[in-house]
Structure 1
């Protein structure tokens, strides 16, 4: 069974994004190249666990992180599961494999002060791009949506009458997020500049470049990095940190974990719980101030 058939399965049946499918395919081809180089074969069906272990050792020797290695092996494992499903394989060579240990990655959110500085003081709104950039930052922080979800937003996904935004998440799962008042102001201001663009090519999309084309992920990253690098001392200033900030700040203010899960578009509560560690300091403050025994 070809890798192409596996890619089509992920894309059409599993509803994975093109970006995700490309990542899976790249990992499998990487292993196939290892087989060609070290075992004079390109047939993935012939690889046993001993051979796969050799590949993992080589990846370790190349100083590739355990997290990245686990991802590559996971891609290969998904491929073998697909071959079992299509009856091309009788036994998965990775059945007994245990993932390499990965240290917990602590990612600090932006503080409320940093957000306020960027949104209220760092952007002078004088033209289309500054109005768009401000709206992008405010939308990411106010909704917690992913960068790709923002890029794919369409004009008709915004329902000002019902004060909500329709977001198409992973595996084409739709969710609705409230449209708060500050967002509506930023939206209307952005749309005023947007309608005066000399040319609009991708007119159904919400976010455009100054040339009237659909915005792209790298540009969103550059926008976030530009403004927050000036306002924050954090080493990483990305759209995902804004998503992290959204979840953490909601939890700090007492939001229910299940509610935050739904807003983020997570399928399991475990995925949302990674944000709770940032709330521990705030919880300690609340506990110290509220518990009667702490006053004795």
Structure 2
């Protein structure tokens, strides 16, 4: 098989066998094309099945020279690692060149989040006082903050995923795993107003553009950035920050860590435990303020 065919067969495999999301598949496709271009330009058109550990290490160093973040490089390495495991399974190679390829050490960073009082500025108003785009933008903010879903999950939501009688949404996450998330009262009210304004369309995607086409990542990112610029000084202004904000506020209000794990769609608890840092800070502040023998009260 030629290089392009290998990539094509792998992408077909992860779509139909692994059932990964279309956004993940597109990301993998871009990463593999990037690797192919590196092999073509720097190693005289070397085919992937001929690449060695040293060749792939050179690719990683090239990514770092282009100033890709540690997280981005590790994500690309994970993609390439999956690709070579597939080649090994298909007996296109006899040894896995990624076996010794290690992830870069990630700097320890606490997730950014918006203060609780800064997220209490929105309210449901009559649709006559706002345009459809304004209503849609607020709906996006309420969905991301009210449920903690990922950007890709938001884009994949269909109108039928919202259950009016139960007040829940059905979310399809990584690996096509589905979970049910409750909607708060304000979010439910937004759903009621938004769906009437959205009307019946040829497609069933919930969030749409101004021209009523399915929404795309950059649109959502612009919506979130615009909103957070108005209400918060948080450094990062992205959809993922609202996911962090959802989890942090839930933990501050006493939600069980396992429940937050299920709501976020995390595969294991370790991914959720990063939010306990904020909770511990909150507990320390409460302790110093309330305990009779704390320094502040002495």
Task: Name the TM-score, length of structure 2 as normaliser.
Answer: 0.88
CA deviation after TM superposition for structure 1 residue 42, in Å: 2.9
Structure 1 match to 2:264 = 264
- Residue-pair matches, total: 291
Q: 1:19 to 1:135 in 2, by over 3 A?
A: closer
Taking the aligned partners of 2:66 and 2:143, their CA distance within structure 1 comes to: 40
Partner of 2:152: 148
Residue 52 of structure 1, CA deviation? 2.1
**CA 1:80 to 1:181, structure 2 compared with 1: closer, same or farther past 3 Å?**
same
Write out per-residue CA displacement over residues 40-92 of structure 1, whole angstroms, 9 at most, x where no aligned residue.
23311112212222223333333333332222222221111111212222211
In structure 1, what is the Cα distance between the partners aligned to 2:219 and 2:62? 35
Residue 117 of structure 1 aligns to a residue whose secondary structure is coil
- Contact 1:45 1:89 (C-alpha < 8 Å) held by counterparts: yes
Q: Which residue of 2 aligns with 1:50?
A: 54
C-alpha change, 1:29 and 1:191, in structure 2 (3 Å) is: closer
Paired with 1:207 and 1:41, the residues of 2 have a C-alpha distance of: 43
How far apart in 2 are the matches of 1:130 and 1:124? 11
Instruction: Identify if the C-alpha distance between structure 1 residues 34 and 223 changes in structure 2 by more than 3 Å, giving closer, same or farther.
Output: closer
What are structure 2's unaligned runs of at least 5 residues? none
Gaps in structure 1 of 5+ consecutive residues: none
Match of 1:25 in 2: 29
1:235 counterpart residue number:
235
For the 8 Å contact 1:118–1:231, the answer to whether it is kept is: no
Q: Which residue of 2 aligns with 1:135?
A: 139
CA RMSD across the alignment: 2.4
Aligned equivalents of 1:6, 1:95: Cα separation in 2: 19
CA contact (8 A) 2:38 2:59 kept: yes
Corresponding position of 1:174: 178
Shift of 1:251: 0.4
Query: Alpha carbons of 1:167 and 1:69: their partners in 2 closer, same or farther (altered >3 Å)?
Result: closer
Partner of 2:187: 183
Which residue of 100, 107, 131 corresponds with 1:103? 107
Task: Report if the CA contact (8 A) 1:84-1:91 is conserved.
Answer: yes
1:3: which partner in 2? Answer: 7
Partner of 1:113: 117
Q: Does structure 1 conserve the Cα–Cα contact (< 8 Å) formed by 2:148 and 2:263?
A: yes
User: If the length of structure 1 is used for normalisation, what is the TM-score?
Assistant: 0.88
State the distance in 2 between where 1:47 and 1:85 align. 16
SS in 2 for 1:255: coil
